[in-house]
């Protein structure tokens, strides 16, 4: 696949009358060409702008077979320097042979490093093209997911339609830890919203979720006695003393919690949302179930 550069991004000229003498450079890569471009920039930085006259004419990406390379070869001649980053030994040798036959100066920038590294490690590389880009893409996907998940924690954020999963649940049902685990480890954008047993708040929540596909929403539940204990411990920690808790006893009153859980079950059932019970379970285990259920539901919902 041939993709032209966004312009002649690197060009130096001595004078307008000598433009035809500019050194032309082409990058050919089995991936994005970023590795070769970075190395080219590092090397060219060592030359004075007044002493060199060059232009990066084209960057050819995802070139992984003889036919694609042969098409490129029709457009270049010995006035070019060809810098290629090709991981396949067979393709690298083919490119070098064809270019050298036409008198075109060329170099595979990966070859010296791979050769030395293989001798040092006593291990042969996998020779799979595009690995670095896949790693980069995965990394930035996780960074984006973490940023989104932090922004949409505990009911905050205004871009729910961009969420890959929305977690709903009562206070202290592990919404935030699950959301952050999925964002950090799988690069999934998660929004989590607390459920409050109130019909007006419920209607407002449904309005907020109007643009979110049903298969993206998962409700979290926990056994009443366990939730009561967790909330009581949290209250003691925050209040600092039993006397200071008098105004928040309903928060961990098991009778109130049972009513809240009943409200949640009815709510989730009315909307047809999937449910995950988090009682006495590790965050990793619950997170994987959330991810599996969401993906399974999505595949079943596809036309």
* Cross-strand partners of 80: 24
Residues 227 and 257 sit within 8 Å (Cβ to Cβ): yes
Please give the chain's pLDDT, 303 residues, in tens: 444 443 333 444 444 444 446 789 999 998 888 888 988 998 888 888 777 788 899 999 989 899 999 999 999 999 999 999 888 888 899 999 999 999 999 999 988 888 888 888 887 766 565 555 555 567 778 889 999 999 999 999 999 999 999 999 999 999 999 999 999 999 999 999 999 999 999 999 999 999 999 999 999 999 999 999 999 988 877 766 555 556 688 899 999 999 999 999 999 999 999 999 999 999 999 999 999 998 865 555 544
Q: CB under 8 Å to 141, separation ≥6 — which residues?
A: 187
SS3 of residue 245 by DSSP: helix
Query: Which of 54, 60, 61, 63 minimizes the C-alpha distance to 81?
Result: 54
Element (H, E) at 295: helix 283-301
- Which CATH code is given to the segment(s) 2-129? 3.40.50
**Number of CB atoms found within 10 A of residue 293's CB:** 16
pTM, 2 dp? 0.59
Kindly provide the b/e burial profile for residues 155-166, where b requires at least 16 CB atoms within 10 angstroms of the residue's own CB. Answer: eebeebeebbbb
Residues 165 and 290 sit within 8 Å (Cβ to Cβ): yes
DSSP annotation of 22 reads P
Structure tokens at 288: 């994987």
Note the Cα 139 to chain centre separation in Å. Answer: 5
* Cross-strand partners of 276: 220
- Which CATH code is given to the segment(s) 137-301? 3.40.50
Note the pLDDT of residue 133: 56
Element (H, E) at 250: helix 249-252
Kindly list the domain boundaries of the chain, sorted by start residue. 2-129, 137-301
**Half-sphere exposure (Cβ direction) of 183: Cα atoms closer than 13 Å:** 25
Structure tokens at 172: 């202290």
The C-alpha R_g of the chain, in whole angstroms, comes to: 29
**Number of CB atoms found within 10 A of residue 56's CB:** 21
Element (H, E) at 60: strand 54-60
Residues 25 and 56 sit within 8 Å (Cβ to Cβ): yes
Beta strand 80-85 with 190-194: parallel, antiparallel or unpaired?
Answer: unpaired
Same fold for the domain at 2-129 and the one at 137-301? yes
Residue 125 to residue 116: CA distance in whole angstroms: 11
């Amino acid at each position: 696949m041939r993709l032209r550069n966004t312009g002649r991004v690197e060009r130096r000229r001595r004078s307008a009358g000598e433009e035809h003498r500019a050194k032309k450079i082409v990058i050919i890569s089995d991936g994005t060409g970023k590795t070769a471009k970075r190395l080219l920039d590092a090397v060219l930085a060592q030359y004075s702008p007044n002493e060199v006259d060059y232009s990066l004419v084209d960057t050819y990406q995802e070139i992984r077979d003889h036919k694609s390379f042969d098409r490129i070869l029709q457009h270049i001649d010995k006035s070019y320097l060809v810098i290629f980053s090709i991981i396949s030994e067979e393709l690298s040798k083919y490119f070098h042979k064809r270019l050298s036959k036409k008198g075109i100066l060329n170099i595979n920038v990966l070859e010296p490093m791979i050769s030395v590294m293989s001798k040092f490690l006593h291990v042969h590389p996998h020779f799979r093209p595009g690995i670095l880009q896949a790693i980069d893409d995965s990394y930035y996907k996780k960074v984006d997911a973490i940023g989104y998940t932090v922004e949409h924690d505990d009911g905050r954020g205004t871009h729910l339609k961009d969420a890959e999963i929305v977690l709903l649940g009562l206070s202290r049902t592990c919404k935030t830890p699950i959301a952050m685990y999925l964002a950090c480890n799988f690069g999934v954008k998660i929004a989590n919203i607390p459920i409050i047993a109130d019909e007006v708040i419920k209607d407002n929540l449904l309005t907020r979720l109007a643009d979110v596909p049903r298969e993206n929403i998962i409700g979290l539940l926990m056994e009443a006695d366990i939730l009561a204990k967790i909330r009581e411990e949290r209250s003691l920690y925050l209040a600092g003393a039993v006397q200071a808790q008098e105004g928040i006893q309903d928060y961990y009153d098991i009778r109130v919690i049972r009513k809240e859980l009943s409200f949640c079950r009815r709510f989730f059932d009315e909307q047809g949302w999937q449910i995950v019970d988090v009682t006495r379970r590790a965050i990793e285990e619950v997170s994987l179930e959330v991810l599996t259920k969401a993906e399974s539901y999505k595949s079943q919902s596809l036309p």
